Amino acid sequence: MAQDSTQEKHNLAGVKHTVLVLSGKGGVGKSTVATQIALALKQAGLKVGILDVDLCGPSIPRMLNVEGNDVHQCAQGWVPVYADKDQQLSVMSIGFLLGNKDDAVVWRGPKKNAMIKQFLTDVFWGDLDYLIIDTPPGTSDEHITVIENLQEYKADGAILVTTPQAVAVGDVRRELTFCRKTKIPVLGVVENMSGFVCPHCTECTNVFSKGGGEALANQFSVPFLGCIPLDPQLTQSLENGQNFLELYSNSASAAAVRKITEVLLKR
């Protein structure tokens, strides 16, 4: 046990800031927000790691075009996969450990928790400015395992992702309660899929209504970080593993992501 504790301290000691990305339900674009924030931080000249602990839906490798890569071992533990040639963005995911990308992870709680703890203790991140942790939707054993294993390192807090609809906002309300009970600071709420941006005329239409995330943030007295509109170009970039912020730097969605990241950096 003492050896495990020493290893954990060694592997996380070089991480300056740790941010969890949470959502009350699936399908709100949590992994999209996590990857875009990570890419925006890298674009700002920072060294970033992204840990995908969504064991049953590991989508980060595809979004960052590192699917099919192998994880290697070094004396300090697992070496994360680098998503760029400059090694400024590193990634760890269960997706790298599956024999086939279509394999299902059919594990009970204890095995999931052991895997997450191993990710937090055995991955040699080196020196990082930010570690972004993409969590599963909801409030489950996996979240408690992450929080318990980060207590010593005092995570900066959590970004909560929602869509504008009342159903999604209601689930994030429970996520806010979870954060309060577990004493995780809430860095802010992001309203994703907030309007549809036409790729031809750039006009924004509020398909799923608007303002639910901001109203929720005001109700709970937590920061509202901003809205990210639905954007077909963003979707296509993620499907192809391309860097959306570089390809479409002048788009409304890219501007929204950069604005959210700037708020995060000013903390």
Tens of pLDDT along 12-47?
889 999 999 998 778 899 999 999 999 999 999 999
Tens of pLDDT along 214-258?
888 998 899 999 999 988 899 999 999 999 999 999 988 999 999
- Give residue 8's pLDDT: 47
Q: Which of 125, 121, 118 is nearest to 47 (CA)?
A: 125
Q: How confident is the model at residue 9 (pLDDT cuts 50, 70, 90)?
A: low
Q: Is the pTM of this model over 0.85?
A: yes
Tens of pLDDT along 96-110?
988 777 777 777 778
- Give residue 98's pLDDT: 84
